[in-house]
Amino acid sequence: MSTSVFGQSIPRVDGPLKVSGGARYAFEFNQSGQLYAVIVNATIGIGRIVSIEATGVEQMPGVRAVISHLNAPKLTYSPHKGVIDPAVGERLRVFQDEQIRFFGQPVAVIVADTLDQAEHAATALRLRYDAQAPLTEIDDPRAQPIVAQQTAAANARVAADRERGSADQAFADTDVKVDAIFRMARENHSPMEPHATVASWEGDSLTVWSKSQYVLNERAELAAIFGIPPENVLVICPFVGGAFGTSLRTWSHVGIAALAARVVGRPVKLALTRKQMFLDTGHRPRTDQRIAIAATNQGKLTAIIHEATAETSRYEEFIEGITNQTEFLYSCPNVRTRYRLVPTDTSTPTYMRAPGECTGMHALECGLDELAAALDLDPIELRRRNEPTVDESNGRPFSSRSLLQCLETGAERFGWSQRNPRPGSMRDGRWQIGWGVAGSTRGAPQAPADASVRLLPDGRVEVASATSDMGPGTYTSMAQVAAATLGVPVERIKFELGRSDMPTAPSHGGSWTMASVGNAVRSACLAAQDAAVRRAVEDPASIFHGLTADVLHWKDGTLGRKNGEGPRLDQVALLRGGMPIDVRTTASRSTDIANRYSMYGYAAFFTEVAVDADLGIVRIRRMLGVYGIGKVVNPRLARSQCIGGMVGGIGMALMERTVLDQRDGRPVNAHMADYLVPVNLDVPTLETQFLDEQDDAVNPLGIKGIGELCIIGVAPAIANAVYHATGKRVRELPIRIENLLGA
Ligand code: MOS
């Protein structure tokens, strides 16, 4: 492959569209004759609807329909093992019965001529409920933890209970140890772009312009709801204004938009308000974790125990791999992990950037820091002494492993050797200064993906796959892969995404888009080159007509003899006949490779915090991330993701927390004034460095993925720095002023 554009920091190809307002988001796809829908949400935590007084509202100006369980058509909701939806439980069926399962559950939708009329009518709709007291918190005395059905399955990998050696015995038998409980808040994704869907029917065919990270899942879900073939559903989403996982699933508002459009026989636009974004669009589950780690006096780990409890909803089971990294990240003969769910009367949690990993690694990396302090050992040295040679959870070799290199490179650049290890020893006036470090790891997955390539007679190349771009720069990076593989200028490539009728792509999540779709684009470009060679020998008008294909090849954008003799044809000359070349291929990882190696990316985070000694205010002063992620397609884009990961990690460490009113499950801070996220003043200079890493096993492009790895170690690095500054271990996220005030 030509290296001309692969690995280069070219600007985003869709940058001009975005800054000029030309990029269209779901909300902006207005349809002619369109009406507006506004959802009415339940105001109790659990119970049932007793009555709805719709008559007066139906008479209000502009109102076309008031749809609730009293008059909604019965929907099919055919069994559908959603590719992204929880496999266990009964999905929320909107307007199909009077039961209320959580605060904010949609109970009605108003359709009106204008948004204003629909909103006004929604506020006027009166419902009476029979309400009970919901259980909203996992530490409620009435809570009943369960083993997740999915992890109890014989072949379950994710988050199952596992043990090697005898962890509890080894823990009891060792002198130096840490045993701590970490509590982490529920978080909501809070992307800039709220959810929105525009729905339009023609007969039995449905088109939606809908915010989605996974248009194929949205198609499958809508087909299942309405009992129509997936081919009858077209989902379109060319741009996503941030998502972090909230747009992987198809939440209730999407079906409601389609239902409303069907009932009124007109296109309908439905957008969630910021407040509604906290009700039924998923969230990072609240968790409690116990981490217990023991080591010899020489700092060799003898036991790790990691027990996690997380919330799920009572009607669906959501699981994530909280304890998975604990099994392999460090060398330790005795490791036990345990995972429990507490069903609560709330909406179902979902994937949120580094789901599970981010949570579990916080406890592990803080626990390790506490152990280092107990041993009076540098935290990097402790990790060095416990570096495994193979993945001890399954005995497989690592395809590549750069944790220590990330730590050592970062330590050098950050000036770690200047750190006085004694907590509270570094000051800057009234500010207590702390330096903290943490490691990060996440799997380097690749899912089967398809891509199509079309070589056009005028020299342009069209590439497509039904993936998405929620911010990483998919449009740009895929164009780079195609340009580099074909050996043509990147300006000639047009990569398209975000339509459910495009070649199959996996979810745009899990950090696997570059590895999955990127390798599919590469394969499709190689297939296009083969097709070009076949065309050249088969076309009677071609100067290569009659040759055997094996003497020709495509190289650096032109086609000619392998031995270098004679003329070479570029795409325009080759396709002079006028017929484009169309190919479509699949790329996937072989089972053999998948079973042979342990494949992970790694990173290390260093941060300096300043804590106001009197007021407990925490400021991040600087942060450095060093990443071992295989090949980097576009350092500018990758750096942008890494900065986003650090900003998200700062939010997780110090700000983000969704608080529920325990009386009714209402999220009390469901708006951006009280659900805090970092703003410019909270974010210092952020430095990033990518190791030069070559991993030939992961996939042909050598891609490991970064979108989630880059948030995982950030919060523990901050928590460890806060300890170093103050001598206080705050084992709760977010770390708030209240945690730091007092002795
Ligand atoms: Mo994500 S949670 O990979 O969108």
DSSP 429-489: TTEEEEEEEEEEEEE-----EEEEEEE-TTS-EEEE-S---SSS-HHHHHHHHHHHHHTS-
The three-class DSSP label of residue 643 is helix
CB-ligand 1 contact for 509 (6 Å cutoff): yes
Do the Cβ atoms of 663 and 345 come closer than 8 Å?
Answer: no
- The whole domain housing 564 covers 447-588
Of residues 202, 317, 708, 738, which has the active-site annotation?
A: 708
pLDDT > 90? residue 550: yes
Residue indicated by tokens 């359709």: 111
407 and 543 within one domain? no
Last residue of a domain, one of 531, 561, 588: 588
Full strand arrangement of the beta sheet holding 552-555: 552-555, 558-561, 569-570
Q: How far is the CA of 248 from the centre of ligand 1 (A)?
A: 7
Residues 431 and 297 in one domain: yes
Atom of ligand 1 nearest to the CA of 213: 4
Pairing type for strands 301-313 and 335-344 reads parallel
> What does DSSP say about strands 301-313 and 205-210: parallel, antiparallel, or unpaired?
unpaired
DSSP three-state, residue 513: helix
Burial (CB count <10 Å: 0-12, 13-18, 19+), residue 679: exposed
Q: How far is the CA of 345 from the centre of ligand 1 (A)?
A: 24
Structural tokens at position 92: 């929320």
Q: Average pLDDT of 442-448? A: 97
With contact defined as beta carbons under 8 Å apart, do 361 and 441 qualify?
A: yes
Q: Cα(541) to centroid of ligand 1, in Å?
A: 50
Look at the alpha carbons of 39, 44, 46, 48 in this order and tell me if their dihedral is positive or negative. negative
Q: Same domain for 386 and 472?
A: no
574/648 same-domain check:
no
Q: Report if residue 20 sits inside a domain.
A: no
Main-chain phi, psi angles of 111, to 5 degrees:
-115, 130
CA 65 to ligand 1 center in whole angstroms? 36
Over the stretch 360-372, which tens digit does the pLDDT of each residue have?
999 999 999 999 9
Q: Is the pLDDT at 743 greater than 80, yes or no?
A: no
Both tokens of residue 323?
A: 């304890």
**Separation CA 686–CA 693 (nearest Å):** 22
For residue 170, give the H/E element and its range: helix 167-173
Residue that finishes a domain, picked among 555, 588, 621: 588
- The response to whether residue 355 sits with its C-beta less than 6 Å from ligand 1 reads yes
Beta-carbon contacts of 144 under 8 Å, excluding residues fewer than 6 positions away, are 342, 343
Distance (Å) from CA 633 to ligand 1 centroid: 20
Contact 516, 447 (CB under 8 A): yes
Give the ligand 1 atom nearest the CA of 511.
Answer: 3
End-to-end CA distance of the chain: 61
342, 138 in Cβ contact below 8 A?
yes
In terms of domains, do 264 and 365 share one? no
Looking at the fold, whether 85 and 102 belong to one and the same domain comes out as yes
631: left (phi over 0), alpha (psi -120 to 50) or beta: beta
> So what's the pLDDT on residue 57?
98
DSSP at 525: H
Give the angle subtended at the CA of 565 by the CAs of 563 and 567, to the nearest 5°: 125
CB 672 within 8 A of CB 274: yes
Closest ligand 1 atom to Cα of 352: 2
- For residue 716, pLDDT over 80 is answered with yes
Going by C-alpha positions, the residue among 245, 386, 384 that lies closest to residue 304 is 386
Ligand 1 contact, 353 CB (< 6 A): yes
Closest C-alpha to 439, from 290, 598, 627, 577: 627
pLDDT, tens digit, for every residue of 251-273?
999 999 999 999 999 999 999 99
Pocket test for ligand 1, best of 244, 357, 469, 470 (most atoms within 8 A of CB): 244
Per-residue pLDDT tens over the stretch 196-234: 999 999 999 999 999 999 999 999 999 999 999 999 999
State the chain's mean pLDDT as an integer: 96
Rg of the chain in Å (alpha carbons):
27
- Domain ends where: 588, 609, 635? 588
> Look-up: residue for tokens 């029917």?
201
For ligand 1, whether the C-beta of 352 sits within 6 Å is yes
Query: Of all atoms in ligand 1, which is nearest to the CA of residue 247?
Result: 4
Indicate if 441 and 453 belong to the same structural domain. Answer: no
> Ligand 1 pocket check: which of 190, 237, 353 to mutate, most ligand atoms within 8 Å of Cβ?
353
Q: Tell me the angle at which helices 635-654 and 714-726 cross, rounded to the nearest 10 degrees.
A: 50
Which pLDDT value is given to residue 82? 63
Residue 708 among the catalytic residues: yes
What's the CA-to-centroid distance between 737 and ligand 1, angstroms?
Answer: 30
pLDDT, one tens digit per residue, over 25-77 is: 999 999 999 999 999 999 999 999 999 999 999 999 999 999 999 999 999 99
Check pLDDT > 70 for residue 159. no
DSSP annotation of 667:
B
Instruction: Give 508's contacts (C-beta < 8 A, 6+ positions apart).
Output: 213, 214, 240, 248, 467, 468, 469, 470, 474
Q: Is 351 in the pocket of ligand 1 (CB under 6 A)?
A: yes
**Which ligand 1 atom minimizes the distance to the CA of 355?**
2
The amino acid that residue 33 corresponds to is: G
Contact 620, 607 (CB under 8 A): yes
455/398 same-domain check: no
Residue 255 CB partners (closer than 8 Å, separation 6+): 75, 94, 221, 222, 225
561: enclosing H helix or E strand: strand 558-561
User: Is the model's pLDDT at 525 over the cut of 70?
Assistant: yes
Query: pLDDT of 560-616, one tens digit each?
Result: 999 999 999 999 999 998 899 999 999 999 999 999 999 999 999 999 999 999 999
In this structure, what token pair is assigned to residue 506? 């996996």
Is residue 22 situated within a structural domain? no
In the structure, what pLDDT confidence band is assigned to residue 486 with cuts at 50, 70 and 90?
Answer: very high
Residues 580 and 600 both lie in one domain: no
Q: Provide the percentage of residues in the chain whose pLDDT is more than 90.
A: 95
Tell me the whole-structure pTM to 2 decimals: 0.97
CA angle 265, 267, 269 (to 5 degrees): 130
How far is the C-alpha of 527 from the C-alpha of 535, rounded, in Å?
A: 12
Q: Are 186 and 658 in contact (CB under 8 A)?
A: yes
Distance between CA atoms of residues 719 and 725, nearest Å = 10
41 and 104 in one domain? yes
Q: Is 709 in the pocket of ligand 1 (CB under 6 A)?
A: no
Rounded to whole angstroms, the Cα distance separating 731 from 647 reads 20
Are residues 386 and 479 both part of a single domain?
Answer: no
Tell me the per-residue pLDDT of 632-673, one tens digit each, with 9 for 90 and over: 999 999 999 999 999 999 999 999 999 999 999 999 999 999
Residue 362 within a domain:
yes
Amino acid in position 502: M
CA of 635 to the centre of ligand 1 (A): 21
Identify whether 21 is part of a domain: no
Report the separation in Å between the CA atom of 244 and the middle of ligand 1, taken as the mean of its atom positions. 5
Atom of ligand 1 nearest to the CA of 354: 2
- Rounded CA separation 327/159 (Å): 10
Q: Are residues 94 and 171 in the same domain?
A: no
Which residue type does 336 have? R
Provide the number of structural domains found in the chain.
Answer: 3
- At 495, phi and psi to the nearest 5? -100, 130
- Residues 6 or more apart whose CB falls under 8 angstroms from that of 306 comprise 289, 290, 291, 292, 322, 323, 326, 335, 336, 337, 338, 360, 363, 364
- Gap between the Cα atoms of 723 and 642, Å rounded: 24
Q: Where are the beta strands (DSSP E) in 245-396?
A: 268-271, 287-295, 301-313, 316-317, 335-344
| Confidence band for 83, pLDDT divided at 50, 70 and 90 | low
Is residue 700, in this structure, part of any structural domain at all? Answer: yes
CA distance linking residue 588 with residue 578, whole number of Å: 33
Angle (CA) 277-278-283 rounded to 5° is 105
Determine whether the shortest distance from the Cβ of 510 to ligand 1 is under 6 A.
yes
In a domain, 683, yes or no: yes
pLDDT at 157 over 90: no
**Amino acid letter, residue 515:** A
The verdict on residue 7 lying in a domain is no
The CATH number of whichever domain residue 85 belongs to comes to 3.30.365.10
Determine whether the shortest distance from the Cβ of 245 to ligand 1 is under 6 A.
yes
- Whether 2 is covered by a domain: the verdict is no
Q: What residues are paired with 341 via a beta bridge?
A: 146, 310
pLDDT of residue 577: 80
Q: Dmax over Cα atoms in the chain, in whole Å?
A: 88
Residue in 158, 217, 708, 711 to alter for ligand 1 test, most ligand atoms within 8 A of Cβ:
708
What count of other Cβ atoms lies within 10 Å of the Cβ of residue 274? 13
Q: Report the candidate in 432, 372, 357, 363 with the shortest Cα–Cα distance to residue 614.
A: 432
Q: Which residue has the least CA distance to atom 4 on ligand 1?
A: 245
Q: For residue 353, give the ligand 1 atom closest to its CA.
A: 2
Q: What is the spatial distance between Cα 40 and Cα 276, in angstroms, rounded to a whole number? A: 10
Angstrom distance (rounded) from CA 295 to CA 379: 13
Quick check: 407 pLDDT over 90? Answer: yes
Judge if the beta carbon of residue 379 lies within 6 A of ligand 1.
Answer: no
Q: Using CA atoms, how far apart are residues 460 and 388, in angstroms rounded to an integer?
A: 49
3-class secondary structure, 47: strand
Q: Could you tell me if the CB of 244 is within 6 A of ligand 1?
A: yes
Rounded distance from Cα 354 to ligand 1 centre (Å): 6
| Crossing angle (nearest 10°) for helices 513-538 and 474-486 | 40
Q: pLDDT band at 87, cuts 50/70/90?
A: confident
- Predicted pLDDT of residue 81: 67
Peptide bond into 734 cis (omega under 30): yes
Dihedral-angle region of residue 27 (phi above 0 means left; psi in -120 to 50 means alpha; beta otherwise)? alpha
Please tell me the predicted confidence (pLDDT) of residue 154.
Answer: 62
